[in-house]
Amino acid sequence: MVDVRSLSAFVLLAFAFFLSFSVSAEGFGNSTTNITTNITNGSEPEIYDKCKEERFTRYPCSSTIIGNILLIVFYGALLMVAAKLISDGAELLLDLGLPPGIIGGIVLPLLGAVPDSAIIIVSGLKPDAQQQLSVGMGTLAGSTIMLLTIAWGGSLFLGRCDLDESGEAIEETGEGINCRKQGVSLLDSVQKSAIIMLLTSLLYLVVQSADWHWGPKKNPEHGDKTQPEYVKNSALATLILCAISFVAYLVFLLYDNKTAELRALKHQQEEIRRRVIHRFYGIANRNIFGGPRDATDGDAGESEDPEAQKQAAIGLQKKYFKTWQVGKDIKPKEPSEKDPIINKEAENELEEAAEQEENKVLTAVKCSFMLAGGVAMVTIFSDPMCDVLSGITDPANAKSGGSYIAISPFYVSFVVTPICSNASELVSSLLFAAKKKKENVSMTFSQLYGAATMNNTLCLGIFCALVYFKNLEWYYSAEVTVILLVEWFVFIMGYPLTYKLWKLVPVAFCYIFSIILVAILESSAIGWK
């Protein structure tokens, strides 16, 4: 697991460095664009600098491709840390004795949608909201499609097992690769999650059908009339339907909490495993290195070589961690006196370590700080992240001697922001699927469909609210078309309760296909908005 403290320290130091560099560059006159002169005095006119005012704010700014890429990396790392803090803090709620149906079914999915929601909100609150909203749409589309293609395919590959004659997966098998004789078998709850994802995807059609009726190729920037009022009214209708669907989905999760219980069980298993391994290693280390020596031992007064102790400790960790992994499903047996390390005292200590609960007050404080810190970081750094994502494609950079990538900000945010906001959840889901158990794999796919449902309700509702209340235009025919095609295709592939390995290829290819299709639809040959 990634050390959050080390990663956050690194990105904060890097952020401070670039901030000081940005400000000092202005102070020493190193800005290539901060040239203020007067033509009547024989000087050159002032050159436009889009970063001139931003250099004295708390966020650095760049007018070059390389500078913006570096800023994307550092802001992205900060958002990854924030998402990790929110995810870990939310799971700590399970240690407080709260109902797993509420925590796993409502709180965890809701907090998981915070990073994407924050980026969408920030993109629509800026002065140039109509242009910046492309970043929000890229976040919405990229997050949904990445989870339903890359994460979906990765979970299928890592969780694959051999299929028996009836087509049912045999748990903890699956050596090698066989596209037709390997796959995963899922619980009925996964099928329900896929159906809900499909139904909520229809919400896009409310506002998009109005835009299609007006014309997917019409755009005021091309000399067409302003978008008619019924498109904005459709956005309001979509907002209301999204709010109703969102509440209904949370109620469904509360009462049909099979996935929530599996998620709580996963957390409990990982916590017990961590404690037992930590305690087990401590006992073994104390018995071997710190225990009393035989008085007749000629080396009793001599200390072990530190390097030898270190290597032995590493060996113990590997040995007993592997033993836990291999034997975690073996029926327990009573320890005997012949066991080299486990004796009665060790047995009692292990039972105490496995059953002991952490202090709930400290856990609550830790959980609160992690959630508050994660939400605060997302709130603070979503703003500059949106600026950088749009800045790297801003043609105005060329006016100040800088450089830019001649593409829409949609494509950059489509790839970058989902990685930042969903990285920890993606890795966790893949590792859980790799255990090759029906319950584990089922929970992984339920989470993926659930995340898409949250995007179809909460995130889409926020997007439509910005369009309606900020009086913005809805110009996303190509993007919505791609989202719907991917969700419907994944539903068709994922409706059966057994996924064969060959399905990985077409589903994973949808990620690249979606980017290509958006580019084709928005090209001059077709001309969609």
What CA–CA distances, in Å, run from 263 to 186, 231, 329, 444, 447?
15, 40, 19, 9, 9
Residue of 269, 309, 270, 240 whose CA lies nearest to 465? 240
Among 174-183, 207-216, 231-240, 299-308, the minimum mean pLDDT is found in 299-308
User: Domain limits of the chain?
Assistant: 54-216+227-271+352-522
Quote the pLDDT of residue 317: 52
Q: Are 262 and 443 within 8 A, CB to CB?
A: yes
Looking at per-residue pLDDT, the higher value among 23 and 265 belongs to 265
Q: What is the DSSP letter of 167?
A: S
Residue-level pLDDT at 45: 47
Average pLDDT over residues 376-384: 87
163 three-class SS: strand
**Mean pLDDT calculated for residue range 309-337:** 51
Mean pLDDT over the full length of the chain: 76
> Quick check: 466 pLDDT over 80?
yes
Answer for the pair 130, 472: CB distance below 8 angstroms, yes or no.
Answer: yes
For residue 9, pLDDT beyond 90: no
The answer, yes or no, to whether residue 36 has pLDDT greater than 70, is no
Q: At what angle do helices 409-433 and 65-92 cross, to 10 degrees?
A: 40
The answer to whether residue 330 scores a pLDDT higher than 70 is no
Tell whether the model's pLDDT for residue 358 goes beyond 60.
no
Least reliable range by pLDDT among 97-106, 353-362, 470-479 = 353-362
Closest CA to 328 of 354, 302, 360: 354
Q: How confident is the model at residue 37 (pLDDT cuts 50, 70, 90)?
A: very low
Higher-pLDDT residue of 297, 211? 211
Does residue 95 register a pLDDT over 80? no
52 vs 46: CA distance, rounded Å: 12
Please write down the long-range contacts of 102-108, taking CB distance under 8 Å and 24 or more positions apart.
Answer: 102/254, 102/260, 103/260, 103/264, 104/257, 104/259, 104/260, 104/261, 104/262, 104/263, 104/264, 105/250, 105/253, 105/254, 105/257, 105/259, 105/260, 106/250, 106/253, 106/254, 108/260, 108/263
Decide: 193 and 259 in contact? Cβ < 8 Å: yes
HSE-up (13 A, CA, CB side) for residue 489: 21
Task: Indicate the pLDDT class of residue 144, thresholds 50, 70 and 90.
Answer: very high
Helix (H) or strand (E) segment spanning residue 195: helix 188-201
- Report pLDDT for 282: 61
Q: Quick check: 291 pLDDT over 60?
A: no
Phi–psi pair at 64, nearest 5 degrees: -120, 160
Q: What percent of the chain has pLDDT over 90?
A: 24
Instruction: Name the more confident of 461 and 351.
Output: 461
> If pLDDT is split at 50, 70 and 90, which confidence band does 28 have?
very low
* Class (C level, CATH) for 54-216+227-271+352-522: mainly alpha
- Per-residue pLDDT, 171: 85
The predicted pLDDT at position 529 comes to 64
